[in-house]
Structure 1
């Protein structure tokens, strides 16, 4: 697990775990639920061009940090062995979070149910 996710007080908090905090240059990211457009699982995203990295880490099968592509910033903290959750955002520094978490399907369903209310 690269990240811990919490939802409290109408906010999604992403907490990179272990060395991922250092590699991603983030100790946490907090997003109001009303800034989340949706969450999906997308295994093919790991094979796409991620854009320009900085700051962050990219080694074979591991991405951690900020990537900029087509003028948009994306936060990645995932490894190939994990199921990637993609969270689309609005009105935030990042337009997309690509995360490795335990119980990916349950988290995507839970997030989508919360934002559809």
Structure 2
């Protein structure tokens, strides 16, 4: 699971618990200028994960870390697809962040509000 917050002009994603180990990351800092938007998307877990470049993938349990699909690098941290949020990025290391959060609607609203400033 991850928590998302806004710190000034930066989107901060904190990876929690053992997911730090599985994802090989503890935090992502993304300039808000590079955030295009966010959606709650439980169906995203059915998408092909692509090639794992760093991290862990145990089907039906956890997908965490960096994966490459169709030339795009995607960061995953999802156990429960019902709580998945997709954050679209531009001009960043990752094209998308696909993360599990405690409250998908609140996270999407936070990101969308911050991007629209």
TM-score (normalised: structure 2): 0.94
Match of 2:89 in 1: 89
1:77 aligns with 2:83: no
- The aligned runs of 1:1-117 (5 Å cut-off) are 2-61=1-60, 62-80=62-80, 82-117=82-117
Separation in 2 of the partners of 1:24 and 1:96? 15
**SS of equivalent to 1:109:** helix
- Offset of 1:84 from its aligned partner? 0.4
Contact 2:73-2:95 within 8 A present in 1 as well: yes
Compute the RMSD of aligned alpha carbons. Answer: 1.1
Aligned residues: 116
How far residue 12 of structure 1 moved from its aligned partner, in angstroms, is: 0.8
Structure 1 unmatched runs, 5+? none
Q: TM-score by structure 1 length?
A: 0.94
- Give me the whole-angstrom Cα distance separating, in 1, the residues matched to 2:70 and 2:59: 23
Deviation at 1:80, TM superposition (A): 2.6
Report the CA distance between 1:81 and its aligned residue. Answer: 5.4
Find the aligned partners of 1:41 and 1:81 in 2 and give their Cα distance.
10
> Moved runs in structure 1, 4+ residues, more than 6 A?
none
Aligned-partner SS, 2:93: coil
SS at match of 1:85: strand
